[in-house]
Chain A
Amino acid sequence: MTNIDPQIELWNGNSGERWVRYRDETDLAFGVLSASAMVRLNAQTGERVIDVGCGAGTTLLEIAKAVGPAGHVVGIDACDKLARCAQLRTAHIPQVQVLCGDATQVELPPSYDALFSRFGMMFFASPITAFRNLRNGLRPGGRLVFTVWQAANKNGWHADLMSVVLPHVSETPAPPLRLELRGHLQCLSACI
């Protein structure tokens, strides 16, 4: 029997569908933070890049433009609805490939120049296993660039909204996701 990661199960439920529907608004919300990460990535013509948690494909489009037809971008997302959306949006760009799967298990040749993620690295049940596996896809000297949320109390868009919602609900919400789910830090979830 296969154990399905609860996070993957959740994303393949209503969360993924909502993110597809509100993809433009989500890009607006995270646009400035995303831009900082893209500057740090500094993808160059001809480079090969992995985009983990590529979502609806916006970051794939940006990276594909930077690396050009001589380069290659592979996007990975565990949510089938988001991966399908990304596939449709990038179908006209030959240097883009989208994989629907678990980044912890995906097998990539050790030929990539960079590993990128916009808030897609916080969902691993075992982060060290996932990062080790993804690192296998990088050539020696390949670079890693990603964003994760800081603690919930530093993110008004999380804390302020929850202060509005929580008085109306009886159950205790699941704790914010962390880079390591069983860790004691409060790295905030990329919101589901």
Chain B
Amino acid sequence: MSERLYLEEILSASGFRDTLIEDVREPVQMGSGGVAAAVEFALHVGPAASLTEKQTPETQQAIRAGLTEFFSGVACGENISLPGAAWLVSAVA
């Protein structure tokens, strides 16, 4: 089952009609600017945050170093963004 169909089924079963699902692709900005800010953001918000939090200080340092290297490689000036993809869903009650 596709994600679109899945969403439509949930909404239909919940009593909504005229469902419209749009594919939205936009960059997700990582932090307020620069590599250091991007690393801090990634370590505190997002999929890596909860996982990193549970690690030993040594492992956290290694993850921080890995993220610093990664963001340094993708930085375009001060702006650091990564691809984002969402469904924009609308329907009527």
Interface residues of A (CB under 8 A from B): 10, 14-15, 18-19, 21-22, 24-26, 28-33, 36-37, 40, 115, 119, 127-128, 131-132, 135, 138-152, 154-158, 160-162, 164-165, 167-169, 171, 173, 176, 179-180, 183-187, 189, 191-192
Contacts and interface: CB of A to CB of B under 8 A. Distances in A.
Contacts of B83: 154-157
A185 B44 contact: no
B3 A187 contact: yes
Given A144-B11, A150-B3, A179-B10, 13 more contacts: A14-B50, A15-B50, A25-B45, A28-B32, A37-B88, A40-B88, A40-B90, A131-B14, A139-B93, A146-B88, A148-B89, A149-B85, A150-B87
B89 A14 contact: no
A186 B47 CA distance: 14
A40 B91 CA distance: 11
A147 B87 contact: yes
Interface of B: 1, 3, 6-7, 10-11, 13-16, 22-24, 26-32, 37, 41-42, 44-55, 59, 62-63, 66-67, 70, 74, 82-93
Given A158-B47, A162-B47, A162-B48, A148 B87 contact: yes
Contacts of A157: 28, 30, 46, 82-84
A191 to B, nearest CB: 4
A3 to B, nearest CB: 22
A119 B45 CA distance: 14
A155 B32 contact: no
SS class of chain B's interface: helix, strand, loop or mixed?
Answer: mixed
Contacts of A37: 88
B3 A15 contact: no
Given A28-B29, A128-B10, A161 B92 contact: no
A149 B86 contact: yes
Contacts of B24: 33, 36, 147
A38 B80 CA distance: 24
